[in-house]
Chains A and B, each alone.
Chain A
Amino acid sequence: MKNKEKRYLPSSGLAFAEETIMSRLSKLAEEGWLLDSFAPLGFWLKRGEPQRLIYSLDMRDVTEDERRDYYDTFWSGGWTPVCSTGNIHIFAAAAGTPPIYSDRETHREKYIPMTRWVGWVALVSILLFGGVLTSELILMSGAEPLLNKDSWAFKVGLGLQGLTLMIGVPCLMMYVAYRWRLWKNR
């Protein structure tokens, strides 16, 4: 399909490559592919006028009540809200517009709540993984183990381990990436 109006752009993870993704979005805007919305593990782009845009990401918990005021502040600085998901917000502006953060301290603070959140999730997941694994090992040991590999409890345990790893590992990676960002901007 040559004349398609929508396109999917996979994301390599905002925690790891925020700046690279933002400049990729700028390049695509020059080719007439404008950011439209968040998509699972990526973004939706839509066909539009080719233009020189810059994109910036902010992270903040904004209540419905505060949202208008929050967006208004960005409009005032020449930045258009493009899309938001949870506490992540992306804005676009004409090339040359002054950046959304004008000082290092507030820019650094942007990452603090997210760092804490993924840190906690990673910690809880890893503790849960460790807890399930230890209980299984204890229950399966000895001459007359209380748990064997065919029992449903073992399968539930295995499922739980898989789930905690699926959540815990990406969160741990994100935590390290955000910690690195905070250290770089200290």
Chain B
Amino acid sequence: MSRSSSYELEQLTDPAYYILISLLTPRHGYGIMKYISELTEDEVTVGPATLYTIIKKLEKAGYLTLNEDEEERRKTYSLTGKGRTMIENEMERRARMADHGRKAIRQEREDDSI
């Protein structure tokens, strides 16, 4: 799979998914990394180079925008409408994937018990 195709297919990679959900509230780079660690209780951490790479791609794809923060003199990122729709679709897609897994396990158990 080529490197940009996951966005063209309207699917997010795991770190891109976490970065987008962390932007339900506008945050700057530090805020994003901290929030993801807190939200996932350190199960997921995103390194700065990975974060920067993905942010640039998500910005290009129109899922987030950069805002100048006058008070903090730091740039914050926020979701666009397109980004929000993407998160909702992606959450449902990932939930369906988990359901498929559970269903497959259930079927396997039923097959075994016959």
A33, CB-defined interface residue at 8 Å = no
A76 engages B53 (CB within 8 Å): no
Assuming the contacts A69-B75, A76-B29, asked whether A102 and B3 have C-beta atoms less than 8 A apart, the reply is no
Chain A residues within CB distance 8 Å of chain B: 56, 58, 60, 69-70, 72-77, 79, 98-103, 105-107, 109-110, 112
B33, CB-defined interface residue at 8 Å = yes
Interface residues of B in 13-34 (CB under 8 A from A): 13-15, 28-30, 33-34
B28 engages A103 (CB within 8 Å): no
B3 engages A105 (CB within 8 Å): yes
**Least distance between B8 CB and chain A CB atoms (Å):** 15
**Least distance between B44 CB and chain A CB atoms (Å):** 8
Chain B residues within CB distance 8 Å of chain A: 3, 13-15, 28-30, 33-34, 45-55, 66, 74-75
B29 engages A69 (CB within 8 Å): yes
A77 engages B13 (CB within 8 Å): no
- The contact sample of 7 A-B pairs, CB cut-off 8 A, is A72-B74, A76-B29, A79-B48, A100-B48, A100-B50, A102-B46, A106-B15
A73 engages B51 (CB within 8 Å): yes
Query: Which single member of B3, B29, B34, B47 contacts A99 (CB below 8 Å)?
Result: B47
Q: How far is the CA of A109 from the CA of B16 in the complex (A)?
A: 15
A76 engages B52 (CB within 8 Å): no
Q: How far is the CA of A76 from the CA of B52 in the complex (A)?
A: 11
A103 engages B13 (CB within 8 Å): yes
B13 contacts across to A, CB distance below 8 A: 103, 105
Q: How far is the CA of A70 from the CA of B3 in the complex (A)?
A: 21
A58 contacts across to B, CB distance below 8 A: 49
B52 contacts across to A, CB distance below 8 A: 60, 70, 73-74
Query: Which single member of B15, B29, B45, B54 contacts A72 (CB below 8 Å)?
Result: B29
Q: How far is the CA of A69 from the CA of B67 in the complex (A)?
A: 12
A107 engages B48 (CB within 8 Å): no
Q: How far is the CA of A77 from the CA of B29 in the complex (A)?
A: 9
B49 engages A100 (CB within 8 Å): yes
A110 contacts across to B, CB distance below 8 A: 49, 53
- Beta-carbon nearest neighbor of B29 in chain A: A73
- Beta-carbon nearest neighbor of B34 in chain A: A76
Q: How far is the CA of A101 from the CA of B15 in the complex (A)?
A: 11
Apart from A72-B29, A107-B50, 18 more pairs, CB < 8 Å: A60-B53, A69-B66, A72-B28, A72-B30, A72-B74, A72-B75, A74-B52, A76-B28, A77-B29, A77-B51, A98-B45, A98-B47, A100-B50, A101-B49, A102-B50, A103-B13, A103-B14, A106-B15
Assuming the contacts A73-B29, A105-B13, asked whether A112 and B3 have C-beta atoms less than 8 A apart, the reply is yes
